[in-house]
Structure 1
Amino acid sequence: MNDGFPIVLTADRTLTADYRLLFDGMLAASQTTSAPPALLEWLLMPRGRRAGGRTKVAPLGLRRIEAALLAGGFSPEEVAVVSEEQLAAAIGRRTRVIGVSSGEPAGLGMNSSTMTTIGGGRSYPEAMFGRLMRCIHRLNRDVSAKVVLGGPGAWQIADDPRKCQELGIDHVVSGYAEENAAAVFRSLLREEPVPRVVTGGWNPAVTIPPIRGASTMGVVEISRGCGLGCSFCTIGRVPMTHLPLQTIAADVETNLASGISHVALLSEDFFRYGGIGGKANPDSLLALVRQIRQIPQVGFIQIDHASMASVAQYEDSQLLAIHDLLAGENTQRYVWVNIGVETASDRLLEQIGAAAKCKRSGSEPWGDFCRRQLRRLCQARYFPLASLIVGVPGERDEDLQETLRWVESLADQRLAVFPVLYAPVDGGPPLDASRLRPLHWALIRACYRLNFRWVPWLYRDQQTAAGVPRLRRLTLQLLGYGQVLQWKSLLAWHHWRARRRP
């Protein structure tokens, strides 16, 4: 047996792959085991680069914990961030703690449950996490290191001791943990008592340590939390705080030093950066994007989430100026953004605890307000990926009909609408196909008619911008066309079954 490292930090293949684009990671996380695993890993999840027994890219959450441990007194020789393929060399007689990050340890997230309901099988992140844990269990037999689970999916099994035991997990860290990670790991190294579930220590944004190694997909955190209070979201009650420009720029520089020139700005609401509460601050966001654009060698800049309420606080000229800074030299390139609509029904939006979104639309009906903001984004050359939640408690047929009409009214716009099935944030079972009515499937199919038209085009555009080799792009396009045909058939079949159900 080799010596290994005292502290090993790792994550499954869906989180440590060397993606070119943020969209690649999203696409990989949306796959299920009904697709050929070997083909998916080769095409969508290229093996991460390695150096000195460590992975060169790792999920941002692991990088934050690594930075917190180093800032808390541990040496670089004591902490190793590795991929699954490196575990055999990293786990050895000196190993005392194995930290694992996961987004879907039980496949209970809305995206995963939606994909498996439609496509069958298990979600790929859940399956890859299970494979990782089996590998750790095998290597840990003669070491008996403590296994600690964290990451955005930790809530899925935090309250399930049986599932933790089944997976070989000794402790679960819930929430952000930069403040107390070093203390918890030090206690584990000393074999001191530590609770099975540890609440992460909240750290003011100004003291979040910059990352020490490159993050997967070039992800850089600009703010955390949301604070809009939606009951269906695990961070809806976490107040939004913003990282300072110095920390953000330092993280970009760290990625550039590892050869990652593209940047993905992580936030639950990109357009609220620098704001207070629900109020946006366009000047702060423009200053941030300008500063990043001025860093030498930065390629195109990606974003992820935004809210309708924040978009509404920007003038058209400001939206376009930010787009052009994000896109860089090729100002015709579209910048995609995830944006939550949830439903077109004001009544249902109020009922599911998203009243903050309703109030910010003033007296205008929520569906009309969202349609207007989406069209403004399209005119400013963004590519909106709107999301809907289907099957929430209290949903009525009239809510579904209103949302269906809303989706159909967007047929002339260049955008996509992704319906996700409601999943309780307490870890309860998500919806399955047997509980969906014909009207649910009519809405889902209407959304995917838009998606089948525009998403392949968007993906080609993104891959070209990222410099993905032509042969790989063509192979992925063929795979994409095959999945479109498969999903058209699956959606029609589910709809047919629902209509025949008594």
Structure 2
Amino acid sequence: MGNGVKIVLTAEGATASETLGSTVAGFISALPDNYILPFISRFYFKVDNKRGIVKKAPYGLSKVEASLLQSGIPREDIVIASPYELDKFVGDNTRILGIYVMDPLGLSFGSGITYWILKLANLPYKGMPYIARSFLNILTNKSVLRHRKHIKILVGGPATWQLTDTGFNKRLGIDVVYEGEFESLGPSIFKNILNGIDVPSVVYGGPAPLEKIPTIVTPSNGGLVEVTRGCGRGCTFCTPTLSGMIKSLPFEGHIEKEIKINIEKGNAKDITLHSEEFFRYGAKDIHPNPNKVLDLVEKSYKLIKSYGDDYTLSTDFTTAAVAVEAPKLVQEVADYMNEGGRWSFIEMGIESGSPRILKKLMPGKMLPYKPEEYQDIVEQGIGILNDNRWVVVGTMILNLPGENDYDIIKDLELLDRIKKLRVITFPLPFIPMGALRHRDFTILDKMLEDPLRGEFIRRALIKALSESKRSLTLAVDKMYNPIIKTVILNIGNYIMDFVINRYKMAERSIDKLIEIKKVEMESSLQIS
């Protein structure tokens, strides 16, 4: 565009891509360089664009664009560019390059899980995760380097902590790191830079009021539509906690507009109502408000079906506690979302099976129930979701601050209780975020070498990969090209069988160790 656009927005290649139509399939971006060659990455992580301007964007990046436009910055001064086409937009007039990141240094849970998956299967791990490589590719882009003297590089997104906590923001020459909700301070930061006013190298934006949250202009990857922000359960390591109590966006004039944009401009056939805890949409406290949830679902369903019977509605996050508290609501929502025998994925942060860890770090996770009841709640909650045709993606975190062997034994007990349910049990290395983010950076190898933790990781991954294999058709279902879908399906089945067999060959009995640890812990509790 001539001599460049003033504000160029983009994202890591892996984050910017809709991965052949299935955002779920984007998980392979956590694989290291030795598995993702350049020709594979340009095909698999293709970014659909028109003359370099993306047709869809990661939802957070679409919100940044919308917020800048709402603040009065002219349309012609802002573009969301494909990371592979930056040379079309970065020029003499460019003043800001804004990069949205999900895992800029390869330190997030996805990269950690992938490291464990390969390491346990005795497969080579060389280089850095592709998602981190795709971030560095932007910083080393020839057009960016050519015009670097008059461009301020701003980085934002849910993984900016990786840059600030390691000091890599300075080492990589990043001018500003923006953390928090963009609508609160983001537009003013951009305007200050355009006006030549100095801004801090790290900016913390607090929760934005609902009236400042705009509707997106560029359709989102995966047909994502935000319906709530925040959570209010108070887990000390979780980013949504920083947004405070759950805030619900209105259907009229907001959610409905984003649904229409995603269908009419983005050609989305499935709309995902995004929330940190969907069944609490419209809630004023920890308890669900069934009338509000059903009103939202009914209106959204009616709207998408006005475009055709083959349009579907989904959601993405829940907790076990709300499913147990409101099983009738779960069933009523499933009648719309999983109609006709359809299955879909839903994520659940299980996090820990230890009442002690829950009391210390996740005081609201199990409410209105007690920490001692949490294992029962998780088992029942997953069962309720399964009964209503949701496959649960359930994360469990290792290396939490203050964790001991007793907590891992409780994790193993919970894992055993849910092994027959349809749940993908991903073991996550603790990611330092929120109030705890400056402590205990994950040491992946040490966890694998520890007898209890290593065995938990192995068992959790066997269950996760076995259920993933069973659900693979569901994972690739949204891919546009039927031939590519079949190829990916066959490759996925082969790889999962191979890895699972390797894990099973490494099986070892730790039952005796568990019993010894239980006795030790019970003795110490009696003494104290």
Q: Secondary structure at the match of 2:365?
A: helix
Post-superposition offset of 1:441: 2.1
The answer (yes or no) to whether the contact 1:60–1:216 under 8 Å persists in 2 is yes
Residues 319-372 of structure 1: CA deviation (Å, up to 9, x unaligned): 1221131235xx211121110111212122223x11212442247621112111
Task: Give the corresponding residue for 1:3.
Answer: 3
Q: Work out which of the residue numbers 204, 208, 213 in structure 2 matches 1:203.
A: 208
Matched residue, 1:408: 416
Q: Which stretch of structure 1 is more off in the superposition, 7-16 or 33-42?
A: 33-42
Number of the residue aligned with 1:193: 198
- Contact map agreement 1:261 1:297 (CA 8 A) in 2: no
Name the aligned partner's letter for residue 324 of structure 1.
D
Aligned AA (2:307): Q
Corresponding position of 2:234: 229
Answer yes or no: is the 8 Å Cα contact 1:71–1:209 preserved in 2.
yes
> Quick one: structure 1 residues 343 and 53, their matched pair in 2 at CA, closer, same or farther if it must change by over 3 Å?
closer
Alpha-carbon displacement from aligned partner over 1:123-144 (angstroms, at most 9, x marks no partner): 3322211222211674444652
Q: 1:455 aligns with which of 451, 463, 468?
A: 468
Q: Which residue of 1 aligns with 2:256?
A: 249
Matches within 5 A, 1:296-315: 296-297=306-307, 299-315=311-327
Does structure 1 retain, via aligned residues, the 8 Å contact 2:206–2:243? Answer: no
Residue 394 of structure 2 corresponds to residue 386 of structure 1: yes
Could you tell me whether the CA contact under 8 Å between 1:415 and 1:454 is conserved in 2?
yes
1:264 is displaced (CA, Å) by 1.7
**Equivalence for 1:474:** 486
Q: Is the 8 A contact 1:108 1:156 kept in 2?
A: yes
Q: Indicate the residue corresponding to 2:451 in structure 1.
A: 438
User: Aligned partners of 1:55 and 1:222: how far apart in 2?
Assistant: 24
Q: 1:484 matched to which residue of 2?
A: 496
Quick one: which amino acid aligns to residue 452 of structure 2? Answer: L
Gaps of 5+ in 2: 119-124, 511-528
Aligned to 1:21: 22
**1:398 alignment counterpart:** 406
User: Matches of 2:39 and 2:494 in 1, distance apart?
Assistant: 13
The superposition leaves residues 66-93 of structure 1 with CA deviations (integer Å, 9 ceiling, x where unpaired) of 1111111111111001111220011011
Asked if 2 retains the 8 angstrom alpha-carbon contact of 1:4 and 1:95, the reply is yes
CA distance in 2, matches of 1:156, 1:227: 24
Tell me if the contact between 2:56 and 2:219 (Cα under 8 Å) persists in the aligned partners.
Answer: yes
Aligned length: 490
How far does residue 49 in structure 1 lie from its aligned partner after superposition? 1.9
| Cα distance in 2, alignment partners of residues 189 and 138 from structure 1 | 17
**1:410-460 CA-partner distances (Å, limit 9, x unpaired):** 233222211111132225532211244122122222222222322123230
Q: Identify if the C-alpha distance between structure 1 residues 117 and 130 changes in structure 2 by more than 3 Å, giving closer, same or farther.
A: farther
1:177 counterpart (161, 176, 182): 182
**1:66/1:404 CA distance change after superposition, 3 Å:** same
Distance across 2 between alignment mates of 1:469 and 1:306: 31
Contact 1:48–1:55, Cα closer than 8 Å, also in 2: yes
CA shift in 2, pair 1:205/1:350, >3 Å? same
Quick check: 1:147 aligned with 2:153? yes
Shift of 1:194: 0.9
Distance 2:42 2:143 in 1: 25
Say which SS state the counterpart of residue 395 (structure 1) adopts. Answer: coil
CA distance in 2 between partners of 1:462 and 1:423 (Å) = 25
SS in structure 1 at match of 2:184: coil
Give, in whole Å, the separation in 2 of the partners of 1:242 and 1:129.
32
Do the aligned partners of residues 303 and 274 (structure 1) sit closer, same or farther apart at CA in structure 2, a change above 3 Å counting?
A: same
- Is residue 327–residue 384 contact of structure 2 (8 Å, CA) maintained in 1? no
Change (3 A) 1:117 1:445: closer
Residue 358 to residue 414, structure 1, CA distance change in 2 (3 Å): closer
5 Å matches for 1:274-313? 274-295=282-303, 296-297=306-307, 299-313=311-325
Residue 346 of structure 1 corresponds to 355
Distance 1:410 1:422 in 2: 22
SS in structure 2 opposite 1:365? helix
- Corresponding residue of 1:126: 132
Give the drift of 1:180.
2.7
* Structure 1 position 474, deviation (Å): 2.0
CA distance in 2, matches of 1:23, 1:80: 26
Relative to 1, partners in 2 of residues 1:452 and 1:155: Cα closer, same or farther, differing over 3 Å?
closer
What residue is the counterpart of 2:520 in the other structure? none
Report the Cα distance in structure 1 between the residues aligned to 2:346 and 2:142, rounded to whole angstroms: 36
State how far apart, in whole Å, the 1-side matches of 2:453 and 2:240 are.
27
CA distance in 2, matches of 1:384, 1:29: 22
How far did residue 231 of structure 1 move?
Answer: 1.8
Q: Classify the secondary structure of the residue corresponding to 1:357.
A: coil
Conserved 8 A contact 1:43-1:476: no
TM-score (norm 2): 0.86
CA distance, structure 1, for counterparts of residue 39 and residue 231 of structure 2: 37
Does 1:32 pair with 2:28?
Answer: no
TM-score, normalised on structure 1?
0.90
1:313–1:421 CA distance, 2 compared to 1 (3 A): same
Residue 376 (str. 1) matches residue 384 (str. 2): yes
- Structure with the higher fraction of residues in helix conformation: 2
Q: C-alpha distance in 2, partners of 1:480/1:364?
A: 39
Cα distance between partner residues in 1 of 2:105 and 2:490: 31
1:475 partner amino acid: V
Report the CA distance between 1:215 and its aligned residue. Answer: 0.9
Q: Deviation at 1:30? A: 4.1
Task: Look up the equivalent residue of 2:499 and give its one-letter code.
Answer: W
3-state SS of paired residue (1:85): coil
Conserved 8 A contact 2:56-2:221 = yes
CA displacement 1:178-215 (0-9 Å, x = unmatched): 13322211111121111111222532123311001111
* Equivalent-residue separation in structure 1 for 2:281 and 2:29 (angstroms): 26
* 3-state SS in 2 of match to 1:441: helix
* Residue 78 of structure 2: aligned partner: 79
1:360 is paired with a residue of what secondary structure?
A: coil
